[in-house]
Amino acid sequence: MISPLDLARVLEEEGYLIDEEAATTLFLALALEKPCLIEGPAGVGKTQLALALARAEKRKLIRLQCYEGLDLSKALYDWNYAKQLLRLQLAKTENWDKIKVDLFSKEFLLSRPLLESILSPEPVLLLIDELDKSDEEFESFLLELLAEFQVTIPELGTISAKTKPVVILTSNNTRDFSDALRRRCIHIYLTYPSLEREITILRSQAPELSERLTQDVCGFVARVRKLPLQKLPSVSETLDFARALKALQKVELNYGELMGTLSVLLKYPKDIAKLEERLRKWETEAQHRF
């Protein structure tokens, strides 16, 4: 990429709209060959940004989905125990010291996403998704990879990347990270888009919607996000909600005609009940204005 504007343009061609500040930060992460940590609430497009970047850069995507209890056997490597056992059975007459060394060679190694990104001869984008769901022990292990683009396997030693992967980490901010991890990364914080940007996103992603419906839905969602809900609607849920209204042959949004559609936008019964109550108030206010 020649400039942040060029990066924003190619991402837009891949269907992702990014603002100038985030594009500049992402550009610097790529130029400096540093991992990029993208933080923000769930549903603001963190993962989609990584996917669009992989397509724009024509890099193979390797994705590690984090979860509580994630360990190295699922993230980095494991040994092919069945193949090792077969090797032992076929080598009963051989010298044990020779067999012992042979059993822990690359032939018996099972590569998981982190090691796969290091061993890949082609350019890759490594997406470590929702890192905040993993524990601090796993976070500490990542430090070597993030700093030197290498990993250490006790039986084999240190393995360095054949081609430096682009590393994107995402977090929903359910827990904080250590200073050591943050120091190794360039940071982007994404939040819910402004009304104008969300309108632009809907125009791009759902051109079949009427202009009136697009503006009505985005204005309504912006209003909903100001409520004290357990989970605020994401951009993808805004899209789903707008398409749901389109499927019901709506050309504009009417507060009195939303019952039954709110579960597309909100995912918790308490949030839906709270919004239904607020809708009755908003509908009354709207009637008084006319």
Task: Report d(CA 71, CA 53) in Å as an integer.
Answer: 27
First-to-last C-alpha distance (Å) of the chain: 53
Mean pLDDT of 120-126: 95
Summarize pLDDT for 220-249 with one digit per residue, the tens: 999 999 999 999 999 999 999 999 999 999
CA 210 to chain centre: 30
Mean pLDDT lowest among 103-112, 163-172, 191-200? 103-112
Question: What residues does each domain of the chain span?
Answer: 4-75+112-189, 77-111, 195-289
Task: Report d(CA 6, CA 21) in Å as an integer.
Answer: 13
pLDDT on residue 289 = 57
Contact 108, 83 (CB under 8 A): yes
Amino acid at 268: Y
Name which of 166, 174, 178, 272 is nearest 229 in CA terms: 272
Mean pLDDT of 40-66: 95
List the structure tokens of 88: 């032992």
pLDDT on residue 149 = 93
List the structure tokens of 108: 């018996």
| Phi and psi at residue 233, to the nearest 5° | -65, 140
Burial class (CB in 10 A: 0-12, 13-18, 19+), 76: buried
Contact 16, 165 (CB under 8 A): no
DSSP 193: P
pLDDT on residue 290 = 47
Q: How far is CA 115 from CA 52, 136, 157, in A?
A: 23, 20, 13
Helix residue ranges, H only, the chain:
4-13, 20-31, 46-56, 72-75, 81-89, 96-103, 113-119, 136-148, 179-183, 195-205, 211-224, 235-247, 262-265, 269-289
List CB contacts of 148: < 8 A, sequence separation 6 or more.
160
Summarize pLDDT for 268-290 with one digit per residue, the tens: 999 999 999 999 888 777 665 54
Summarize pLDDT for 8-18 with one digit per residue, the tens: 999 999 999 99
Summarize pLDDT for 98-119 with one digit per residue, the tens: 555 566 667 778 889 999 999 9
Contact 118, 62 (CB under 8 A): no
List the structure tokens of 87: 């090797």
**pTM for the whole structure:** 0.86
CATH classification (class only), 4-75+112-189: alpha beta
Mean pLDDT of 75-88: 77
| 246-268 residues labelled b (16+ CB within 10 A) or e (exposed) | beeebeebebeebeebbebbbee
Please provide the average confidence, as pLDDT, over all residues in the chain: 90
- 97 pLDDT tier (thresholds 50, 70, 90): low
- 93 pLDDT tier (thresholds 50, 70, 90): low
